[in-house]
Amino acid sequence: MAAERKGGVTISQVAKEAGVARSSVSRAYTRPDMLSPETVERIKAAAGRLGYVPNHTARALSTGRYGNLALIVPDVANPFFPPMIRAAQVEADRSDFCVFLGNSDEDPEKEDQLLGRFSGQVEGIILASPRLSDERIAAHALLRPLVLINRDVKGIPKVLIDSGTGIAEATQHLADFGHRNIVYVSGPSTSWSNKQRRAAVRQASKKLGLDLSFVSASVPSFEAGLQAVDAILAKGATAAIAFDDVTAQGILAGLGERGVSVPGEFSVVGCDDALGPLTVPSLTTVSSRSIEAGKLAVSLLLEVLGSQAVRDASYVLETHLIVRSTTGPAPERGQG
Amino acid sequence: MAAERKGGVTISQVAKEAGVARSSVSRAYTRPDMLSPETVERIKAAAGRLGYVPNHTARALSTGRYGNLALIVPDVANPFFPPMIRAAQVEADRSDFCVFLGNSDEDPEKEDQLLGRFSGQVEGIILASPRLSDERIAAHALLRPLVLINRDVKGIPKVLIDSGTGIAEATQHLADFGHRNIVYVSGPSTSWSNKQRRAAVRQASKKLGLDLSFVSASVPSFEAGLQAVDAILAKGATAAIAFDDVTAQGILAGLGERGVSVPGEFSVVGCDDALGPLTVPSLTTVSSRSIEAGKLAVSLLLEVLGSQAVRDASYVLETHLIVRSTTGPAPERGQG
DNA sequence: CTATGCTGTGCAACCGGTTGCATGTCAACC
DNA sequence: GGTTGACATGCAACCGGTTGCACAGCATAG
């Protein structure tokens, strides 16, 4: 039991112990079919005696196969991401990959930094809802296999959650309830999802003849939603569709503070189904499919790594409205 | 702009471009003081021109300093952890460390596996709320610097969130409201936090002369809380303290289904303040300080790495009751 | 004018594996 | 019985950096 050596046992030590060359020790692990069974046996025995464990890092250096991948998200604590992270994690695990997690704090520069720091030790990177410019993303994609989630850059494999379908359903839902004047509370201007949702609500409103205004909550957070309430009410709307559930919760809290009842006097729709039915009243929202997105992104990345051919693959996940308890008939009041 | 090279730019290419030796390029980054300012300048310029980024893995191999650490949690998607993960992430970032994230799925064996997989490429590991046995933890701690969060194993540095103080306050709070019969809905049996909370509620109940019973929700989840409701009501209690906020939300939902009003007929206290004031009615809970714990664990780990001396350091973070809207006076009814 | 001491840079070994190629051995084949 | 080829193993270069040591150039001291 010589495992007490500080720095770990190396193949050289095992080679000496077993009376073979270093290369044979290496092969005993990577290509045992190349060696005679007895030699393999002898080497493994020696390795066991010394407590040898192959060095992941050294192996990575010479093979270029790191067995690692990185996942970069804007905000780990935003409830939209944890289920996605978890799914990615689990999927990577199934192929013996380790996952680096990066948190960009919604900051493009930090995202760029993280990309650089990771790129030396991973085989591929998944960028979720990046805030970075298309050019920078394309530049990084040249260096390493890259898969995007919720961002559409030409030539780069991606998984898109199409919240447009769900948002359209939500708009229809509000129209059915008799709402004529609604507000979209938008998220980060650099967010692909935000652009998509904004476009979807605009298009649906136009088609349905609704009166639509915009209020901006540049960072999606509870506070931002809270602070948007005055602006929302000033528009004279009777319903709001929020960029995401966290913002929606902030709006609900703000409405509560001002004594506006939901859904009696005002209806609210979130997006991403990040909180599930946890809240009371439970939030009407658009499904997110973030779990599938995380899982899919990893398997897509691994596929790209397997076949050199970097196919420009796109997966699109459609979403739907989940009706819960924060939407109801428009209040009776004169409306022009 | 020669960055189109596939495999990344190496120190040799930069050396040639700048007309110096490889070692000088290396030193330009690691010990610029050893070189003349002009040489450093020239090298950095060449590096910039080529788009050179130092290879983390190669560096790690020759220095033994990996610049990575691993954080293993039982469930990324449990809202208690994301803020902690984020804080750890940010703190590690400040020292140029990359973070591996592991998700054990509440499974001790998976935890063991992850520990093994990471250990070859990180300098240290943080284990949050581990489900692993003391022996295995101690064994891993011999191989790599290890810091624990919410687990107390002798001789290993740790950060403990003492929810006992907050739980005691919660019990007192319920007693003040006239509750005489309460339930503690417990979490995973292998969880240190659960043991601690259980002990705290028991001790406080005894001191206050309350009637206490236990209901078990072995995995902390919304569903587990939901399913615990019948058992809770069967005990004839008028208030429950749940292992965590997610479980508490499940209990609230279950009570709602059964037409039991909160806090009118029943009071509920959560633990961890994982949801903040987001919910309606907002949950009375115990503060968690998970952000500080994450940050502290990383700085503690880095400190251990810095000084070889593996001090048996313990940080204890006290918690307090946060009174919101799910607790109120005990309902008027005969009680013995 | 030589001895002494810096300073700035290059050489080459090393970290711990992997892998293409060469070599040696032995059995099968013509 | 000599040639052929398959098989098992070793040699040495390589992955991309780091670092101890040698050495050249120059200024200062004696």
What CATH number did the domain enclosing B125 receive? 3.40.50.2300
Q: Are residues A80 and A169 in the same domain?
A: no
- Residue A274 and residue A295 in one domain: no
pLDDT of A209 reads 96
Average pLDDT rounded to a whole number, residues B88-105: 93
Q: Is the CB of A20 under 7 A from strand D?
A: yes
Question: DSSP code of A284?
Answer: B
Which among A54, A85, A143 has CB closest to B8? Answer: A143
Question: What is the arithmetic mean of pLDDT over B50-77?
Answer: 92
Domain that holds residue A111: 65-161+290-318
State the count of interchain CB pairs (< 8 A) between A and B: 139
Question: What is residue A274's predicted lDDT score, i.e. its pLDDT?
Answer: 86
Residue B30 is given by DSSP the state: H
pLDDT at A71 over 60: yes
Give the pLDDT of residue B60.
93
- Mean pLDDT calculated for residue range A275-301: 90
Residue B190 has pLDDT above 80, yes or no: yes
Residue B306 forms part of a structural domain: yes
Q: Which residues of B touch A142 (CB under 8 A)?
A: 3-4
| Whether A265 and A307 share a structural domain | no
- Residue B125 pLDDT > 50: yes
pLDDT: which is higher, B122 or B120 = B122
- Kindly report the average pLDDT of chain A as a whole number: 91
Co-location of B226 and B295 in the same domain:
no
Q: Distance between CA A161 and CA B115 in Å, rounded?
A: 33
Same domain, residue pair B177 and B196: yes
B310 reaches A (C-beta below 8 A): no
DSSP string, A203-240: HHHHHHT-EEEEEE-SS-SHHHHHHHHHHHHHTT-SEE
Regarding whether A70 and A43 lie in a shared domain, the answer is: no
Could you read off the pLDDT of B219-248 as tens digits, one per residue?
Answer: 888 889 999 999 999 999 999 999 999 999
Mean pLDDT of A269-277: 88
Q: Which helix (H) or strand (E) holds B241?
A: strand B239-242
Any atom of strand C under 7 A from CB of A34?
Answer: no
Residue B137 near residue B156 (C-beta atoms within 8 A): yes
Q: What is the mean pLDDT of residues B29-51?
A: 94
- Does any domain span residue A185? yes
- C-alpha–C-alpha distance, residues B15 and B11, integer Å: 6
User: What value does the mean pLDDT take over residues B71-81?
Assistant: 93
Quick check: is B252 in a domain? yes
Residues A131 and A171 in one domain: no
pLDDT at A53: 86
**How confident is the prediction for chain B on average, in pLDDT?**
91
Q: How many distinct structural domains can be found in chain A?
A: 3
Which residues of B, range 202-231, sit inside 8 Å of A by Cβ? 222
> Is residue B101 a contact partner of residue A89, using CB atoms and an 8 Å limit?
yes
Do the domain assignments include residue A103? yes
Based on the fold, state whether residues B41 and B134 are members of the same structural domain: no
Which CATH number fits the domain that encloses residue B42?
Answer: 1.10.260
CA angle B183, B184, B186 (to 5 degrees): 145
Residue A203 confidence (pLDDT): 96
The Cα B265–Cα B310 span in angstroms is: 52
Whether the CB of A76 is below 8 Å from some CB of chain B: the reply is yes
Radius of gyration, alpha carbons of chain A: 26
Please determine, for residue A164, whether its predicted confidence score (pLDDT) is greater than 70: yes
- Give the tens place of pLDDT for each residue, A167-222: 999 999 999 999 999 999 999 998 999 999 999 999 999 999 999 999 998 888 88
Considering the domain architecture, whether residues B50 and B83 belong to the same structural domain is answered as no
- Which nucleotide has the shortest C1'-to-CA distance from A15? D10
Question: Phi and psi at residue A69, in whole multiples of 5°?
Answer: -140, 160
- Specify whether the CB–CB gap between B181 and B144 falls below 8 A: no
Residues in chain B closer than 8 A to A117 (CB atoms): 56, 96, 98
Residue-wise pLDDT tens digits, B140-175:
888 889 999 999 999 999 999 999 999 999 999 999
Per-residue model confidence (pLDDT) at position B116: 82
